Every structure is written in C-alpha cells, then in structure tokens.
C-alpha cells in the first residue's frame, strides 16, 4: 500500500508575517506525512514574496523542498490563488493524493492534518474533511453550513424568531457539533480534499473573486455524489478576515454581491436567482420596518438592501440587453445594411 501524499496550499495577500506563522504550524502538522507545502503570493506587490522567499532560504526550506514560495502573477481572488497552488503540484512533477487548503491566518494543531487524512483514508466515499475552527479565545467559529436557498435568503434577512423556527430546516448556519458529522459545505479555512475528485468536478470556479467559492465547490461535489465530513478532533486556531479586512467593512464590497448572484445564477438559473433576491429584499425590508417600529438600530451594513437591489437589477438589465443583441431577430438583415 502506497503512502498518501498531501500538498498544503497557503495563499498570502499582504500578510507575510502571519503567513509564515501559519507555515510554521503547518510544518509541524505535516510531520510524518508525505508531501509538501506551497505558499502562493497572490500579487501582494508589497514585498511579501521576497520576504517569504528570504525566510524560506534562511531556514533551509528551499533546499529540502518541504516548502516552496511562488508567485501567482495575478490577484484573481481566493479561488484563483489556491488553484495556482493546486495546479503546481509537488516539486517532483507529480500530483498529490490530497490537497489541504489552509488560510494564512489559520494555525493547525500538530495532529490536525493527520486526523483529517485518517478520516478520508478510512472512508473512500468521502471527498473532503474539515476541521473544528476556534478563535484565539478558544471560542468556536461557525464553519458548517447548509446550501443557500430562496427560503434561507428570506429567513436570514428577516431575523424573526417565529419565522426562523418555521424555517429551521433551511437555515444556512449549522450549530457547532461535539462529534464528527456531515454538512453540505464547510468554510475553507482548513479543508483536506481528494485531488482525484477535484480532477473530476473541477477546482475552484475563478469567476468568484471572494466568497461563495467554497459553497459552489461543495455543491458540485454533492451533485456528483460525494460527501464531506467534519472532524471534531482536528483543531485549528483561526484569526479570521485578516487579508479581506471584513471586520472593518463599513459597506459590503461589490465583489460579495457579484459572488452571491453568480452562485445562484450558475447553480439554479436566473429565475431562481431573482426569486432569491426578492426573498432577501422582502425579509430585509420587514426586518428594517420592525426595527423602525421598535426604535432599535439596524444591525446590518449601511445601504445593504439598496445596494443588493441596484446591483442585481443592473445585472439583469445588462443580461437582457446582451440577449437582445445576440438574438437573430434583433440583427439588421444583410440586404438592408446599405439602404
């Protein structure tokens, strides 16, 4: 029986010190596991690549091929950067049996990767295993989810107890369990995936710049008949939102709305995506009205609903215009071009 190989991919964007700390933890977690770590600098353009390369050379990482530092050459987002590392493969030119995606602000315990690998080696029907994620204060992070739906858009936006109770089977976030379990999808801070399954279903969709790319990948795997598992004893400490700056957002950036709309349109069609947006706007409007009546502050980013409405309407108008231009009926007949 051959020893399985693991390629750990860590994506850096302007956080070289944090990334090197993550690499240090990953090296200890990779002890005894055949494979390598590849650090992809996602065009930070701030000296990150050279700093990490110098560190790798100083600590002998480059000599033993245990850690490689490479440049993506283009910041295409989370999925594109990780795909660059996945495509690079192992330094000997072969492909690994498993790909381990680790956030640059995530720090696995010494046995974290080994436990994920053991879970997948035991059950060949599983394609992916994810870790228990906790913060610096040891508080658990939300990492298990259901796939989004029209109902979940309404429930998540209205934030009203009776509605949430009625639609509890549609809520996207799942409670953090105390035992191993299955979930539709898991946050990609620490996930181990079978490389041959990625070959079959494709890696991350690079249309997503940031957000929803893991959801889309897990949905493709589920539709192909593969299951994933959450391994409770695989512990990873995660700071969260260091590269994205999400904690300091005053407004949700446009690429979040782009990713959300692309996810629904790609996987369920334009009509479903429109219905999901309407459900969210309706639920969000009712939430806003309730907070106004109760004279309580709105607990959401400024202009969120308005931005979603105009974003999705703009997309629909452009798509409709493009469809009309490409329609044979809208073309000018060749014999009338000079009339």
Do the domain assignments include residue 23?
yes
The position carrying tokens 């192992």 is: 90
The position carrying tokens 């940031």 is: 210
Do the domain assignments include residue 170?
no
244 close to 104: Cβ distance less than 8 angstroms: no
**Per-residue pLDDT tens for 124-141?**
999 999 999 999 999 999
Tell whether 270 and 301 lie within a shared domain. Answer: yes
In angstroms, the CA 94 to CA 96 distance is 7
The position carrying tokens 């400024």 is: 302
- Of the residues 195, 216, 244, which one is the last residue of a structural domain? 244
Tell whether 312 and 180 lie within a shared domain. Answer: no
Do the domain assignments include residue 133?
yes
pLDDT value for 329 = 52
Q: Residue 157: left (phi > 0), alpha (psi -120 to 50), or beta? A: alpha
Tell whether 302 and 187 lie within a shared domain. Answer: no
| CA-wise closest residue to 143 among 177, 92, 116 | 177
Do the domain assignments include residue 160?
no
- Give the domain CATH number at 40: 3.90.550.10
Tell whether 297 and 278 lie within a shared domain. Answer: yes
Tell whether 198 and 263 lie within a shared domain. Answer: no
Tell whether 137 and 266 lie within a shared domain. Answer: no
Going by C-beta distance under 8 Å and a sequence separation of 6 or more, which residues neighbour residue 268? 276
53 close to 41: Cβ distance less than 8 angstroms: no
Tell whether 260 and 187 lie within a shared domain. Answer: no
Tell whether 259 and 239 lie within a shared domain. Answer: no
Tell whether 60 and 127 lie within a shared domain. Answer: yes
Do the domain assignments include residue 331?
no
Range(s) of the domain holding residue 286:
254-324
Count of domains forming the chain: 2
Classify strands 126-134 and 227-238 as parallel, antiparallel or unpaired: parallel
User: Could you tell me how far CA 205 lies from the centroid of its own chain?
Assistant: 10
Do the domain assignments include residue 106?
yes
Provide the token pair at 68. 């490689």
Tell whether 275 and 186 lie within a shared domain. Answer: no
156 close to 226: Cβ distance less than 8 angstroms: no
Sheet holding 98-102, edge to edge: 67-71, 34-41, 5-12, 98-102, 190-194, 126-134, 227-238, 106-108
In angstroms, the CA 121 to CA 71 distance is 32
Tell whether 76 and 135 lie within a shared domain. Answer: yes
Do the domain assignments include residue 230?
yes
| CA-wise closest residue to 20 among 52, 47, 53, 60 | 52
In angstroms, the CA 325 to CA 57 distance is 55
Sign of CA dihedral 250, 254, 258, 259: negative
- Of the residues 208, 225, 244, which one is the last residue of a structural domain? 244
| CA-wise closest residue to 12 among 82, 65, 108, 92 | 82
- Of the residues 244, 277, 292, which one is the last residue of a structural domain? 244
Do the domain assignments include residue 162?
no
Q: Which residues of the chain have pLDDT under 50?
A: 243-245, 330-339
Tell whether 233 and 104 lie within a shared domain. Answer: yes
């Amino acid at each position: 029986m051959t020893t399985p190989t693991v390629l750990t991919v860590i994506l850096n964007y302007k956080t070289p010190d944090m990334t090197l700390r993550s690499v240090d933890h990953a090296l200890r977690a990779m002890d005894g596991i055949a494979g390598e770590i590849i650090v992809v600098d996602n065009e930070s353009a701030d000296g990150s690549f050279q700093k990490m390369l110098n560190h790798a050379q100083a600590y002998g990482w480059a000599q033993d091929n245990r850690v490689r530092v490479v440049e993506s050459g283009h910041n295409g987002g989370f999925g594109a950067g990780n795909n660059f590392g996945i495509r690079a493969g192992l330094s000997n030119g072969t492909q690994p049996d498993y790909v381990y995606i680790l956030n640059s602000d995530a720090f696995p315990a010494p046995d974290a990767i080994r436990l994920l690998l053991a879970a997948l080696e035991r059950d060949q029907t599983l394609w992916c295993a994810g870790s228990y994620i906790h913060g610096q204060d040891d508080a658990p992070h939300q990492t298990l989810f259901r796939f989004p739906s029209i109902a979940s858009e309404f429930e998540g936006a209205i934030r009203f107890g009776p509605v949430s109770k009625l639609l509890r089977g549609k809520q996207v976030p799942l409670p953090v369990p105390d035992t191993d379990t299955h979930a539709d999808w898991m946050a990609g801070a620490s996930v181990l995936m079978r490389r041959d399954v990625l070959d079959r279903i494709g890696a991350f969709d690079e249309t997503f710049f940031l957000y929803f790319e893991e959801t889309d990948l897990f949905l493709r795997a589920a539709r192909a008949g593969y299951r994933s598992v959450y391994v409770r004893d695989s512990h990873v400490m995660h700071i969260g939102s260091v590269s994205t700056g999400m904690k300091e957002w005053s407004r949700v950036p446009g690429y979040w709305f782009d990713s959300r709309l692309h996810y629904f349109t790609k996987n369920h069609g334009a009509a479903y995506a429109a219905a999901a947006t309407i459900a969210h706007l309706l639920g969000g409007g009712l939430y806003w009205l309730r907070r106004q009546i109760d004279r309580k502050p709105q607990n959401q980013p400024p202009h969120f609903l308005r931005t979603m409405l105009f974003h999705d309407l703009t997309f629909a108008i452009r798509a409709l215009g493009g469809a009309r231009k490409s329609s044979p009926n809208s073309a000018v007949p060749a014999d009338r071009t000079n009339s």
